[in-house]
Amino acid sequence: MRRWNGWGDDQVDYPVPDSALDFLEKLVGKGKKQQPIELKDVVKKVQSSKLKHAHGIVLDAGERIKHSYGQSIPDWIEMRIGPLRQITDGIAYPESAEDLVYLLDHAKNNQINLIPYGGGTSVLGHITPLGEKRQNLTVDLQRMRDCIELDEESLLATFEAGITGPDIEAQLRARGYTLGHFPQSFEYSTLGGWIATRSTGQQSKYYGRIDDLFFGGKLISPVGEATVYPFPASAAGPSVKEQILGSEGRLGFITQATVKISPLPEKEEFHAVFFPNWEAGYRAVQEISQQNLQVSMLRYSDPVETETTLILAGHEILIGTLEKLISLRGVKEGKTMLLIGYTGTQADVNFTRNRSLEICRDSEGVHVGRRFGSQWHKNRFRTPYLRNTLWDYGYAIDTLETAVPWSEVNRTMNGIESSIRQAAQEYNEQVHIFTHLSHLYPTGSSIYTTYLFRINDDPVAALEFWRHMKTAASKTIVEHRGTISHQHGVGVDHKRYLVSEKSVLGYRGIKEFIDEFDPLGIMNPGKLLD
């Protein structure tokens, strides 16, 4: 069963070795063990629903709690320390577009806010019920998950939007295809959620972001339906498809989406290369990106992330041997790790692998083969389970991300890290921070920073401390003219930074577009913008 106040399936654990806990204690201090909270105890304390009984609307308190939180730090603080402030008033599980039209009419007539809910994996408060004035109804799209059409000639597939990653891949793989969209939240996140948040998968260098994969679809808004036909390309003015991408539930419900699919690749490999320092590997990944080599994934970790990954992996003997071997070739303390993926035909994989590894070698890289890369690939959806274990030991992990041109990458990355560190020091706390570059383009790169800190038992103090660090980092991103999000979206936590990214006029345009689709303001209010 899915955990109600953590990540993933409650039968899956991610134990950490004692050596890793010692390592964290030295860095940020000893965490205070957290007591597990039972859902049945929380249920007794929640306020009763303000919604009246209506056909197909579930008012059960446990279901309402489970649908009120995503995976952001404020969500975790409420779910794990409490108290729960505002939970949704009910949940609907539509099975068709007709059900959605019924719900929209019901909401319009009764002044109810509707919150589209895909997999609930948002890390920015996208699905949090807001506003005391109106009742909130969360609309869980999990029953809308059919494959509607597979157009093999055009390499297009149309699905209902509530379908999850594993279900899409199972259906496509049975016919010899893949969508190739693998965010780390793949297990639970949905097609509609990916489009509504402009998600990026781990192999986006080969398959593209969801922006590149989404070709058409249908959206039902409070004032009618919009259809986007899957043209291969179009010069017919501004694009409605672009407005639906990143709409975060504000325009209406994406009911179905037509996406580009690819034949299953003949070959796929993941390799690891170690570099003696950040600059050496940085030169290599920049060159690989600018030569447009068709690698499917690059993940370049800084020295701290490299060390942390190796320690948390727990295979001490294997890693000790590896470290001895690479040290003979000059790769010692301060080393960095690049994971690099190849996908495609055997011939393309051979060519890309040889050329990219040559670039790495020319930049002092030591290629260690496929073992680490294959391990990463095998465990790639398991890593988020670490958040559960570390929280139990008293440590929280948060991530934040941006993208900037190459000329700004190093400055922005260092700026983000030092702003978080400084903000933590102002609270007399230490923070463990590391960064990788994972979506690299010819003109620049995304920057993905992880920070780990001790949890305060008092929820108000815990939230205040996190917000202080998050604000410092977000302001630094804006100062460096980075986007406030390369892949997670805006939700609640980023909305105050949107205007500086879009300009006042652009921001007003987005607001007017939303008002046109939703004049009563009942679709997911308070998310993306006010």
Ligand X SMILES: Cc1cc2nc3c(=O)[nH]c(=O)nc-3n(C[C@H](O)[C@H](O)[C@H](O)COP(=O)(O)OP(=O)(O)OC[C@H]3O[C@@H](n4cnc5c(N)ncnc54)[C@H](O)[C@@H]3O)c2cc1C
Q: Write out the residues near ligand X by the rule CB under 6 A.
A: 7, 70-71, 115-123, 126-127, 141, 161, 183-185, 189-190, 192-194, 196-197, 199-200, 248-249, 253-254, 384, 487-489, 524, 527
Least distance from ligand X to the Cβ atom of residue 134, Å: 16
Question: Which letter, b or e, does each residue of 117-144 get, where b requires 16 or more Cβ atoms within 10 Å of its Cβ?
Answer: bbbbbbbbbbbbbeeeebbbbbbbbbeb
The pair of structure tokens assigned to 235 is 């010069």
Least distance from ligand X to the Cβ atom of residue 57, Å: 18
d(CA 302, CA 308): 10
Select 363 or 445, whichever has its Cβ closest to ligand X: 445
Select 163 or 416, whichever has its Cβ closest to ligand X: 163
Q: SS3 for 11?
A: coil
Least distance from ligand X to the Cβ atom of residue 138, Å: 9
d(CA 101, CA 107): 10
Closest listed residue to residue 79, CA positions, set 68, 89, 90: 68
Select 117 or 282, whichever has its Cβ closest to ligand X: 117
d(CA 254, CA 307): 42
Output the CA angle 329-335-338, nearest 5 degrees: 95
Least distance from ligand X to the Cβ atom of residue 312, Å: 16
Select 68 or 121, whichever has its Cβ closest to ligand X: 121
d(CA 45, CA 467): 26
Least distance from ligand X to the Cβ atom of residue 332, Å: 31
The CA dihedral of 274, 276, 279, 283, to the nearest 10 degrees, is -50
Closest listed residue to residue 336, CA positions, set 376, 363, 305: 305
d(CA 58, CA 503): 41
Least distance from ligand X to the Cβ atom of residue 252, Å: 7
Residue 148: count of CB within 10 angstroms of its CB: 11
Least distance from ligand X to the Cβ atom of residue 17, Å: 21
Least distance from ligand X to the Cβ atom of residue 104, Å: 12
Select 419 or 487, whichever has its Cβ closest to ligand X: 487
Which residues, other chains included, contact 297 with Cβ-Cβ below 8 Å and sequence gap of 6+? 202, 203, 205, 206, 270, 339, 340, 341, 438
Select 13 or 358, whichever has its Cβ closest to ligand X: 13
Select 126 or 494, whichever has its Cβ closest to ligand X: 126
Q: Of all residues in this chain, which one has the CB nearest to ligand X in the complex?
A: 193
Least distance from ligand X to the Cβ atom of residue 122, Å: 3
Least distance from ligand X to the Cβ atom of residue 6, Å: 10
Select 49 or 128, whichever has its Cβ closest to ligand X: 128
The pair of structure tokens assigned to 302 is 């800084």
Select 253 or 275, whichever has its Cβ closest to ligand X: 253
Closest listed residue to residue 81, CA positions, set 90, 89, 91, 69: 69
Residue 415 to residues 157, 408, 475, 489, Cα–Cα distance (Å):
42, 10, 10, 21
Least distance from ligand X to the Cβ atom of residue 123, Å: 5
Q: Note whether 42 and 85 are within 8 A (CB).
A: no
Select 360 or 386, whichever has its Cβ closest to ligand X: 386
Task: With residue 85 as reference, give the H or E element that holds it.
Answer: none
Select 63 or 248, whichever has its Cβ closest to ligand X: 248
Whether omega before 83 lies within 30 degrees of 0, making that bond cis, reads yes
